[in-house]
Structure 1
Amino acid sequence: MKRFLTTAVLCLLPMTAQATALEEAPWAPRAAAYRLTLFLGNLDPMPWDKLENSWTTPVTGSARNVSAVSKMSKAEVDAVTSALGSQDRQALFVAATDVVKNGILRSLAAADDALGTANAAQEVARAETLYRAFADGIKAGDPAGFRTLGRAWLTLNSAVGSAGLSQSGAPEPDHTAFAAARAVIETYLQDNFTAASFAPRAKLTSVPETTLQTGVSVDVPVSLPPGSDIADQREFPRLILQFEEAGLDEADMPLVAYGDMLFDSPQIFGGPARDLGFTCSTCHNRSDVNRDFFIPGLSNHAGGMDVDGSFFAPMFNDRNDDHLDTPSLRGIRFTAPYGRDGREASLRDFTRNVIVTEFAGEEPTPFQLDALMAYMRQFDFLPNPQIDRAGNLTDLASDAAMRGEVLFNTPFDGLNGRACASCHTPERNFRDGQTYDIGTSEAPFEGGSATQFDTPTLRNVNFTAPYMHDGSIPTLAGVVDWFNDSKSLNLNVDERSDLTAYLEAIGDGEDPYQVFQGRESTFRLAFDELTTFASTLNTLIPMQDAENIALLVETVAPDLAADASVMINQAAKPDVYLLSAHLQAVGDASAAGNWADAATAWDMFKTLQSEINEGMY
């Protein structure tokens, strides 16, 4: 992707709806297992094996590397185990809710017994980390109750007292205040999270039971489960764009710039993708691959997910757990057909399919698709001096790679008399535009046809691990071994090593990752990109295109403000907020049809940007 997604810490509530991805604070093991139960329990079909793992093994992203069951009583373990064994969704929800509620009550009781010692504060903190599992449901379903509970937690923290330094000067515990606050929390939990009285729930949420009993519809903000990672991968891919290599300025190419903005906008998707801040660049990081991307229940491993399940677009749920590895979009104008199975010959049709059928977005307008095509067709491969324009190795390649090139072009009986190069054709960017059944998928029924997958390019492949359509092989050496074994190529150890060296040579690329030094910071990159996106207002305002102005403002204004959190020059943050406010004023005026005011606000944006530009890093 091209945008930089900043990271921040959220202490209590789920991520907000913006393109800037936020890293949540670690979850307590029992709270993590509960939140995973809510998320996985709402998938169709339910992944019972993954639900069991969420309780019996440490959850990625937990505050402690221990399982939830290790912190539970025997009765709680038995109840959860029984529900998992019988695959009883409601029973699991009841048992999981009891685990969290009981844990809070036990910690509050322990804190009461330890008032005036350090242990009291620790037990209150443990209770709060468990309460976090219920918090968003309470806030959505009972805002007044949420505020009352918030005050009670503050009282508990101030009433615990402390042993102090050398037993002197310490605040005394306030037993009366602590007892009153504890009673507020315990009564609320008993009234609303005593799971035995829960009515069956069509959707598993942490909304209080008394609220649900009223029949009032409650919308709980969408959130991802603990262990999710949708922020940019830590190594930030370098983006190669044709026009930049030619020395052109994107601001002078409004259709490309608007497509760049759309590629980084959650507004083109439907819920829940839009609400979570998903963009094209969330998975396709700066035209390449976000290798850290992971969502428990949707991803079998980092770098991909099941894109046609029930979470993002239930209408198109194929009810199969079919994880797909995210493909790189480098050089995408050369890599038709599109989709791992080559289902779309047209990049335009495939892009529309991703927006509408995978992420439940509304039909994009022809202009929006034009803009996305104009931008994505600028993606190019990383330069690789080890191959020439025809795909042949240069004298910079190693001797092992040279020997591997011979093997790559050698016909094998196990490949029906073809060579590796027959499909990964060097002069065609190491691909042939065809699909094949190479034995990596099963037929859906006896006598049925197995899915065929398209021949992927091998250019820059060093940076797109893991490999195969489902990301099942972590290394290029593993890919060579798989073909050798499954196709009976009979390559010895040295030959496999040489063939791997060849793949690594043709799959290389210069300076694959963005380097940040001094004022060339992550924020500077984000600032330049966001202000370039905004430059399309020079075209959109005269056109009086309120629809696309609104989409731009909804994307860029909040991200400008959010990205300010990673500025090196913290003194300049107020200027960024003011710049964002000017952009919001453009959106407000255009929505009202006040085009003169929109133009004035846009002029104020450009003037301020020019004045503060040097301090933006």
Structure 2
Amino acid sequence: MIRNFLGVLLATLASVLVLSGPAAATPAKETPWLPEAAAYRLTLFLGNLEPLPWDDIETAWTDPYRGSEFSIGALTWLDRESDIDAAQLLNAITHEDRQAAFVEATRLIALRIEEELDRVIAAEDPARAQQAVRTARELYRAFADGIATAESDVARQIGLAWLELNSSTGSVGVLGAGATSADRDTMVAARRVISDYLAQNYLIDDFAPRQTLSALPETAILSGRAIEVPPSLPPGSDIFDQDPLPRLVLNFEEQGIDETDLPLVAYGDMLFDSAQIFGSPARDLGLACSTCHNRSDVNQRLFIPGASHQPGAIDVDGAFFNPIFNDRRDDPLDIPSLRGLRFTGPYGRDGRFASLRDFTRNVVVNEFGGAEPTPFMMDALVAYMLEFDFLPNSMLTPDGQLTESAPEAAQRGEAIFNTPFAGLGDRSCASCHMPDANFLDRQAHDIGSVAPAYEGARAGALDTPTLLGTAYTAPYFHDGSLPTLAAVVDWFDETKTLGLTEAERTDLTAYLQTVGAADEPYEAFDAENTAFRLAFAELTTFASTIDTLLPRRDAEHILLLTDTVAADLAADASTMSNLAARPEVYALAGRLADVGAAVRDGDWAAAEASWSAFQTEADTVEARAF
């Protein structure tokens, strides 16, 4: 009984506590959703996109959400676990009636909670009652953030009701000892608190029209108050770093230069990892440049329903991130690698930006709705990204020729790569992917991989991508439509009528795999060289730029840094292997927050004192930071 009580307590506290302060760029893992609750949250999320993806909403109810621990969809689950009829919901989706779909989905979740609460009261033994409480509580989670945002006092009252309901179900004890009977009166009273609120807000006959779909209670909508619901990602989203983590190669590090001696680069490194430079919802969700571009490469696991058609792809000009930049086209793109960025211009999949600075500003301001970056911020971001280098590959010479260590099949493939074909306009693969120019030509070509948007359209030209490092960036093409390098070879052979034999396809594939390989593609971790140690080193390096900013009394850029780094340091501390040192890291994050607080107050002496304390304590804890 104690274990059940604590489980409900923790779940309740998680739903009613609202974290303050800036969002960290380190996401937290989410508890799995029940199928119908997941489908409801997906309906809310997708229902706010424009144009509205009705097929995706239908799929949300018929199929398990991505990554679900359940093998069946919500409707099948309901058929098995519930007596509730979902016909009205399906009818609303079929007729593409947004308000009706919202109403029916909302009522369905509320009815499911009531159904489980009925089971709690009717249960003849504590175990069944407690299981029904858990299920009802997991369903209530679909409404919890809306209630907590609109009526925090009510959210706490309902949270206590869940605790009382669970604790009053009784216990069978251990081997007959310590058994307690259910407290029926307390159960009924606690259930009434929950049910009365659901009846007033989620089981009503007529819901007010919703401009924005959310889990806000009806009473809050009718009050006319301006209530901003914190953005959230729907079930099935994945914004965690790729595992294994790509290795980052920086030009200055390879030359033995310490990043702390390059304050502009270090500040740009911080900005690349900062959610604060973006607008809502990206900022509030903790999304940063590094979320998509792990260690300058590709995050092949990133997925957001409604914005991604497959992992590793995202539609950055859709309705979610910046509605004013919505191009109303469902056109998610495969996330590109940023390795060797100073060599790979022009920028953008179609090469529309000649300048890396203009490209970067477009990402921050237009794609993710951030405020106009200061000139210093733009200088720093560009300075950092220009240090991205390609992964070393001992099977390639600096001018792109294979070394003797390359496989024989790859060496045969190299000859094919350099052979002109009539289907390529009497050019070779190497004509565009020039080996002595990092396997690109800095031009855009229409190879027929983009379907014309309209008759006569000439918008299919795409920037030639480098082949370096591509062994680790599958899938391929701008839309990630080809899963392997072998599929790329097959596509060119078939669409350009190259006439390759099976052996030649194999050899050409071997060549591409060799060119795209690397000696050490991923970060290597062990018991002490942990992911947290890497993060600690990065975050303290970011903070080192305060040495340059404090004497300048540069409040704006100090606060951006302290807000980012203090939050990330505290969030990352939860991943430490060395639990004994965790309190020291939390205290260190507090020191950095103190720097920011003093700067906000204009107390520069206090800021300098806190910064000095941070440096001393960081040096002290560094050896134990793993």
| TM-score interval (norm. to shorter) | over 0.9
Deviation at 1:449, TM superposition (A): 2.0
Give how far 1:217 is off: 1.3
On the 8 A contact 1:94/1:196 being kept in 2, the answer is no
Is it true that 1:244 corresponds to 2:253 in the alignment? Answer: yes
Decide which of 27, 50, 72 is 2:33's aligned counterpart.
Answer: 27
Is the alpha carbon distance of 1:15 and 1:387 closer, same or farther for their aligned partners in structure 2, counting shifts above 3 Å? farther
CA offset at residue 399 of structure 1?
1.1
2:65 aligned with 1:59 = yes
Q: Identify the match of residue 175 of structure 1 among 176, 184, 193.
A: 184
Q: Distance in 2 between matches of 1:125 and 1:522?
A: 35
Ranges in structure 2 where 5+ consecutive residues have no aligned partner: 1-10
Cα distance in 2 between the residues matched to 1:520 and 1:11: 32
Q: Indicate which of 17, 23, 43 corresponds to 2:49.
A: 43
Distance 1:34 1:91 in 2: 13
In structure 1, what residue type is equivalent to 2:415?
A: V
Residue of structure 2 aligned with 1:556, choices 561, 565, 570:
565
Counterpart of 1:591 in structure 2: which amino acid?
A: R
Matches within 5 A, 1:602-617: 602-617=611-626
Contact 1:115 1:161 in 2 (8 A): no
8 Å Cα contact 1:15-1:22 kept in structure 2: no
Of 68-77 and 460-469, more deviation after overlay is shown by 68-77
Q: Which residue identity lines up with residue 134 of structure 1 in the other structure?
A: F
Aligned residue for 1:392? 401
Structure 1 residue 328 and structure 2 residue 334: aligned? no
Aligned ranges 1:153-164 → 2 under 5 Å: 153-164=162-173
Q: For residue 504 of structure 1, report the CA deviation from its aligned partner.
A: 0.1
1:152 to 161, 164, 167: 161
Q: Deviation of residue 589 (structure 1)?
A: 1.6
**Post-superposition offset of 1:135:** 0.4
The match for 1:433 is: 442
Counterpart residue number, 1:273: 282
Q: In the aligned structure 2, how far is the partner of 1:166 from the partner of 1:307?
A: 58
Q: In the TM superposition, what is the alpha-carbon distance from 1:116 to its structure 2 partner?
A: 2.9
Q: Distance in 1 between matches of 2:366 and 2:199?
A: 43
Describe the SS at the equivalent of 1:196.
coil
AA at the equivalent of 1:55: W
TM-score by length of 2: 0.95
Structure 1 residues 165 and 584: CA distance shift in structure 2, 3 A? closer
Q: Match for residue 6 of structure 2?
A: none
| Letter paired with 2:227 | V
Aligned to 1:5: none
Indicate conservation of the 8 Å contact 2:15/2:148, yes or no: no
- Aligned-residue offset at 1:11: 5.9
* Alpha carbons 1:11, 1:25 under 8 Å: kept: no
For residues 64-84 of structure 1, give each alpha carbon's deviation from its aligned partner in whole angstroms, at most 9, with x where no partner exists.
222100132576321121111
Q: Is the 1:104–1:127 Cα contact (8 Å) retained in structure 2?
A: yes
Q: 1:285 is matched with which residue?
A: 294
Select the residue among 537, 544, 553 that pairs with 1:528. 537
**Separation in 2 of the partners of 1:167 and 1:119?**
17
Q: Which residue of 2 aligns with 1:6?
A: none
Which residue is equivalent to 1:599? 608
**In structure 2, what is the equivalent of residue 121 of structure 1?**
130
Query: Deviations 1:482-534 (Å, cap 9, x if unpaired)?
Result: 11111111212111111100000000011111111121111111111101101
2:460 paired residue among 418, 428, 451: 451
Secondary structure of the 1:76 match is coil
Q: Is the 8 A contact 1:11 1:24 kept in 2?
A: no
Instruction: Please list every run of 5 or more consecutive structure 1 residues that lacks an aligned counterpart in the other structure.
Output: 1-8
Q: Does 1:492 align with 2:501?
A: yes
Contact 2:247 2:521 in 1 (8 A): yes
Q: State the SS of the aligned residue for 1:197.
A: coil
Counterpart in 2 of 1:406?
Answer: 415
Give the partner amino acid of 1:336: G
Aligned to 2:85: 76
- Give yes or no for contact 1:442–1:450 (8 Å, CA) kept in 2: no
| Mapped contact 2:275–2:564 kept (Cα < 8 A) | yes
How far apart, CA to CA, are the structure 1 residues paired with 2:366 and 2:391? 31
Residues 400 and 438, structure 2, Cα contact 8 Å, conserved in 1: yes
Which segment is superposed worse, 165-174 or 476-485? Answer: 165-174
Find the partner of 1:318 among 291, 315, 327: 327
2:227: which partner in 1?
218
Is the contact between residue 313 and residue 333 of structure 2 (CA under 8 Å) also seen in structure 1?
Answer: yes
**Structure 1 residues 387 and 60 mapped into 2: Cα distance closer, same or farther (>3 Å)?**
same
Q: Residues 11 and 420 (structure 1 numbering): CA distance in 2 closer, same or farther, change over 3 Å?
A: farther
Q: What do residues 254-300 of structure 1 show as CA deviations (whole Å, max 9, x unaligned)?
A: 11100000000011111111011110000000000100000011000
- Contact map agreement 2:16 2:152 (CA 8 A) in 1: no
Work out the CA distance in 2 between the residues paired with 1:426 and 1:46.
45
Distance 1:122 1:277, change over 3 A: same
- Corresponding position: 1:518 with 2:524: no
What letter is aligned with 1:514? E
User: What is the identity, as a one-letter code, of the residue corresponding to 2:50?
Assistant: D
Q: How does 1:338-417 map to 2 (within 5 A)?
A: 338-417=347-426
Q: Which residue of 2 aligns with 1:470?
A: 479
Segment of structure 1 superposing worse, 70-79 or 417-426:
70-79
CA distance in 1 between counterparts of 2:55 and 2:155 reads: 34
Following superposition, the deviation at residue 374 of structure 1 comes to 1.1
Structure 2 match to 1:111: 120
For 1:69, give the aligned amino acid. L
Kindly provide the CA deviation profile for residues 148-176 of structure 1, in whole angstroms up to 9, marking residues without a partner as x.
11010001110111333444432211111
C-alpha displacement of 1:561: 1.1
**Aligned in 2, Cα 1:15/1:445: closer, same or farther, shift over 3 Å?**
farther
Q: Distance in 2 between matches of 1:593 and 1:489?
A: 69
Q: Aligned partners of 1:32 and 1:551: how far apart in 2?
A: 35
CA contact (8 A) 1:56 1:69 kept: yes
Q: 2:357 aligns to what SS in structure 1?
A: helix
**Structure 2 CA distance for aligned equivalents of residues 388 and 472 of structure 1:** 31
Q: Is residue 199 of structure 1 aligned with residue 193 of structure 2? A: no
Counterparts of 1:281 and 1:241, CA distance in 2: 15
Residues 15 and 346 of structure 1: CA distance in aligned 2, closer, same or farther (over 3 Å): farther
State the SS of the aligned residue for 1:582. helix
Contact in 2 for aligned 1:305/1:324 (Cα 8 Å): yes
8 Å CA contact 2:433–2:466 kept in 1: the answer is yes
SS of the counterpart of 1:62? coil
Give % identity. 55
CA distance in 1: counterparts of 2:421 and 2:100, whole angstroms: 56
Contact 2:130 2:166 in 1 (8 A): yes
Q: Quote the offset at 1:53 in angstroms.
A: 0.6
* Matched pairs, number: 610
Deviations 1:404-455 (A, max 9, x none): 1111111111111111111011011111001111112222222222331100
How high is the TM-score relative to the length of structure 1?
0.97
Q: Deviations over 1:66-123 (max 9, x none)?
A: 2100132576321121111101111111111122111111111111111433111111
User: Partner of 1:153: helix, strand, or coil?
Assistant: helix
Aligned with 2:556 (options 543, 547, 556): 547
Please give the alpha-carbon distance, in whole angstroms, between the structure 2 residues aligned to 1:15 and 1:330.
38
Structure 1 vs Structure 2 CA RMSD: 1.6
